[in-house]
Structure 1
Amino acid sequence: MSGYGFVGTGEITAAIVTGLDGADPVYLSPRGREIGQALAERFPNVQVCGSNQEVLDRAETVVLAVRPQVVRAVLEELTFGPQHVVISAVAAVRLDRLREWAAPATRVVRSIPLPQAERRQSRTVAYPDDAAARRLFEPLGGLVVPDDEAGLEAFSAATATFAAHLDYLATIAGWMGEHGVDPDAASAYLTHVFGQLGQSLSAGSGALAELTARHTTPGGINEQLMTDLRRDGVPDTVRRALDAVLDRVRG
């Protein structure tokens, strides 16, 4: 047994497999066959199996990438061995449940891979620390291992902010349009500005509070907008929404 097996073949699986770029044998479940076939045609090391059990029979390290609503049913149909390492990319399913459903496998890891794995730029969060997870995720952009499962769940809740962040930018673009700016030009400008800001963040050039201070001139317009948003309770609204997501993530 060698390589990686994937139970569930959606966007996250496609991103990880693309990031691996032929480095190891990859066995895909028949679920999501269209995506699987496209990957198999693109990479000679990728094979679509006839069943989920065949994935387990061929690979020792198995990545779970199915919807939380079906993960128990999927796992309970499979026969795991003590040699298997199970890496779950399923949100809101705790380690104790995964270990129960994947027994007798005992090496079970929760992970939060991102679509940027496709470009080897996914800083993946995983818990507990495991050599197989490190071998998989470190080449795809690095690995973060929190101190405990509760920490991983906080990371997971934070990923719920992606759409809200983009909606914030869309709101700004819409406001610019209301003031006479061409919508395409507004979107292109904001994409550029915040894309460049994202590169600064990726460079790791200071804590977020320090970066905020660098972009805040006393008495300037950045300070004005930030002060108005804080006064109107935006940070508290974000915290309350994250608390609600965290409650859901923890089941």
Structure 2
Amino acid sequence: MYGFIGAGEITAAIVEGLSADVTDPPEVLLSPRGRAVAQDLAARFPTVRVCAGNQEVLDRASTVVLAVRPPQAREVLAQLTWRPEHVVISAVAGIPLRQLREWAAPAGRIVRVIPLPQAAFRQSLTAIHPDDPAARELFSRVGDVLAARRERDFDAFSAATATFAAHLDYLSTIAAWLAEQGVDPAAATAYTSHIFGQLGQSLIRHTDSLATLTGKHMTPGGNNEQFLADLRRDGVPDTVRHALDRILTRLRG
């Protein structure tokens, strides 16, 4: 049995992966936060139910996923009565283990995780720290698990996920450029989504480093080489690094 405090998009994705088209899905208890999402999940899956309050989730489940906004975490945790046997799995970005242990005392085990939306399709590679059997068991149900050796490594993984919107904006820029050349906007979006979607699939299949794959997608004097050289000359890689540094600084307080 798993309990969830907070019923937003990431909770919905995990619960979907745990429950949809599964022969023996686990029982899931949801807090009333995000009631519309919670009620929809409960209506779709017979093993999912919405509790009257957050404390009921804790009273019935020993493994509890915390998925609230960072500014709400302290208040939510402080209002609850935890037991030593509780495993608190925090999907809240930027809240270190030492703080979580203080706020959720006397819960015995605290784990930080970075679940991805692909959990809904059981394709999330979920970073966790520290490695914990309860967290590993849960997230193995919705994909694979990557255990970070140190909390500072975990923070770096968390920073990397801040690039999603920028990556999508990059693809949007390409699709918009195609439309500016007279291509139908729907076709421009479909083409851009397809070629980069297929590229993403190839990344999963290959074991080469990303630098090696970059080289394989260029020929000397070719268009890919020219485009990459332009971006490097304009300082795009350094801009990305600096932005990631700032996110990491923010995450580490």
- The count of aligned residue pairs is 249
Alpha-carbon offset, residue 204 of structure 1: 3.2
Alpha-carbon offset, residue 139 of structure 1: 1.9
Secondary structure, counterpart of 2:12 in structure 1 = helix
**How do 1:65-104 residues align onto structure 2 when only pairs under 5 Å count?**
65-104=67-106
Secondary structure, counterpart of 1:69 in structure 2 = helix
TM-score, scaled relative to structure 2: 0.97
TM-score, scaled relative to structure 1: 0.98
Alpha-carbon offset, residue 106 of structure 1: 2.5
**1:58-81: per-residue Cα shift (whole Å, max 9, x none)?**
000000000000100000000000
Aligned AA for 2:170? Answer: Y
Aligned AA for 1:38? Answer: D
Alpha-carbon offset, residue 182 of structure 1: 1.4
Extract unaligned runs of 5+ from structure 1.
none
In 2, distance between residues paired with 1:161 and 1:168? 10
In 2, distance between residues paired with 1:97 and 1:138? 26
Extract unaligned runs of 5+ from structure 2.
none
Percent of matched pairs sharing the same residue: 65
User: 1:169 maps to which residue?
Assistant: 171
User: 2:142 maps to which residue?
Assistant: 140
Secondary structure, counterpart of 1:126 in structure 2 = strand
Secondary structure, counterpart of 1:123 in structure 2 = strand
Pick aligned residue for 1:5 from 3, 16, 19: 3
Is 1:248 equivalent to 2:250 in the alignment?
A: yes
In 2, distance between residues paired with 1:18 and 1:37? 13
**1:36-75: per-residue Cα shift (whole Å, max 9, x none)?**
1111111111110001000000000000000000100000
- What is the Cα-based RMSD across aligned positions, in Å? 0.8
Alpha-carbon offset, residue 137 of structure 1: 0.3
Alpha-carbon offset, residue 183 of structure 1: 1.2
Pick aligned residue for 1:129 from 131, 134, 146: 131
In 1, distance between residues paired with 2:188 and 2:198? 15
Alpha-carbon offset, residue 205 of structure 1: 3.6
User: 1:16 maps to which residue?
Assistant: 14
In 2, distance between residues paired with 1:111 and 1:148? 13
Moved more, 173-182 or 48-57: 173-182
Secondary structure, counterpart of 2:64 in structure 1 = strand
Pick aligned residue for 1:182 from 181, 184, 198: 184
Alpha-carbon offset, residue 132 of structure 1: 0.2
In 2, distance between residues paired with 1:98 and 1:130? 16
